[in-house]
Structure 1
C-alpha cells in the first residue's frame, strides 16, 4: 500500500515541482512521478533531519509534502544546471 502512496504523492509533488521550475511542458506524467519519488527521497534524506519534519513514509502531512516538494525542486534545479549549464 505504501508503494501506491509513493506513486500518487510522487506524481503530485513532481507535477508541482515541474510547475515551479517551469519544466512542465518537457515532462510527462511518468517523469513527474519519478521526479516526485526521487525528490521525496532527497528531501527525506537531507532536509527532513534539518527541520525535524517526518517523511512520507512516516505519514502524509503538510510538512512531509513540503519537504518532498523542496527535494523535487532541488532535483530539477540540478538537472537544469547540467542540461543547460546554468540555473533558470
Structure 2
C-alpha cells in the first residue's frame, strides 16, 4: 500500500482509536489525525514482523484497518502518557 493509502487509513484509524480510547489526551482533531497516521504506519510496520497481523498490510481491508487501529491505540496511549507527565 502506498503512502497515500496509509494516510487515508490513518485518518480512519485515528478516529476509531479515539472512539475506543476516549479521554483527555488533548490536542484536538488535528493531533488525533496525525497520531492516527503515525499509528497506521506503526501498525503496518508491526504487521511485517508479527505473523497474526500480516494480513493487514496488503491493502485497505478489515485486517489493515484492525492493524492500523492497534498502531493508533499504541501511539495515542504513548501520547497520553507523555502529555499527562508534562501537565503536572
| Global fold match (TM > 0.5) | yes
CA contact (8 A) 2:39 2:73 kept: yes
Deviations 1:7-32 (A, max 9, x none): 4322221111112221488421x333
How many residue pairs get aligned? The number is: 81
Distance 1:8 1:24, change over 3 A: farther
Aligned-residue Cα RMSD (Å) equals 2.3
Which structure has more relative contact order (CA 8 Å, sep 6+)? It is 2
Q: Matched residues in 1 for 2:47 and 2:38: separation?
A: 13
CA contact (8 A) 2:14 2:33 kept: yes
Q: Where in structure 2 are the equivalents of 1:5-84 lying within 5 Å?
A: 5-23=5-23, 26=26, 27-28=28-29, 30-50=30-50, 51=52, 52-55=54-57, 58-84=58-84
- TM-score (ref. length: structure 1): 0.73
- TM-score (ref. length: structure 2): 0.73
Structure 2 unaligned regions, length at least 5 = none
